[in-house]
Amino acid sequence: MKFGFDIDDTLINLREHAFHIYNKKLGKNIPIETFHQIDRVEIHEPFGLTDEQGNAMWNNTLEDIYYTFCPPFPDAVETLQALAKQGHEIYYITSRPKEHGERTKEWVKARGFPVEDDRFFYGMEDEEKVDFIKNLQLDYYFDDKPKVLNTLLKENTKVYVKDQPYNRNVSLPRIVHWNELKNIIGNGKQ
């Protein structure tokens, strides 16, 4: 089977990692419980930043956010390694900008994810992911962003939402922990 995965906040805990970086860079000590209550993708509001300031903060700290040690979600690496070992095709489809694509691919490989160079796609807008997913004829696709997931509602691909506070209003099957995947595909669950 063909499996497609977003990276940020689907396989790795990027937003929480960025939250810790914001605390450090801004000299704040906002508790992690506050992070877990943020119901949008952007994380700047608890720091008292406007949307414009938050966007600038994100862009100015991308190097730290993307390339320092952002932890994978529990069992993400092992689950994808097991899929690859079983002969499944693993595709990565990320909206990270083109200028970060190759470096991101190497970073993902270094974390232990099974990556084949011709199955790693980057540099598209969120809403453009649907074209890649359709062209690849994926059996399963996993993502966290409602903006992406909503573009896939009429496709044949089995779409799963990686559970996050900001996507709880999405009415699709969801995966909370990566160890659930073996049960999903083992049961032929839709």
Place of tokens 């900008």: 97
3-class state of residue 11 by DSSP: coil
Report the predicted TM-score, pTM, of the whole model to 2 decimal places: 0.93
- Tell me if residue 64 is catalytic: no
123: left (phi over 0), alpha (psi -120 to 50) or beta: left
Q: What is the Cα–Cα distance from 14 to 72, expressed in whole angstroms?
A: 8
Q: What is the Cα–Cα distance from 97 to 112, expressed in whole angstroms?
A: 22
More confident of the two residues 187 and 29: 29
The model's confidence at residue 187, banded by pLDDT at 50, 70 and 90, is low
- Tell me if residue 8 is catalytic: yes
Q: What is the Cα–Cα distance from 124 to 98, expressed in whole angstroms?
A: 8
Q: What is the largest CA-CA distance in the chain?
A: 48
Active-site hit among 8, 9, 143, 144: 8
Active-site hit among 6, 9, 143, 144: 6
The model's confidence at residue 44, banded by pLDDT at 50, 70 and 90, is very high
Place of tokens 């877990």: 36
Q: Is the pLDDT of residue 189 over 50?
A: no
The model's confidence at residue 161, banded by pLDDT at 50, 70 and 90, is very high
Q: Is the pLDDT of residue 28 over 50?
A: yes
Residue 64 DSSP one-character state: H
Percent of the chain clearing pLDDT 90 (strictly above):
84
Q: What are phi and psi of 181, to 5 degrees?
A: -60, -40
* Residue of 47, 150, 109 lying closest to 141 (CA atoms): 150
The model's confidence at residue 190, banded by pLDDT at 50, 70 and 90, is very low
Q: What are phi and psi of 141, to 5 degrees?
A: -140, 140
Q: Is the pLDDT of residue 5 over 90?
A: yes
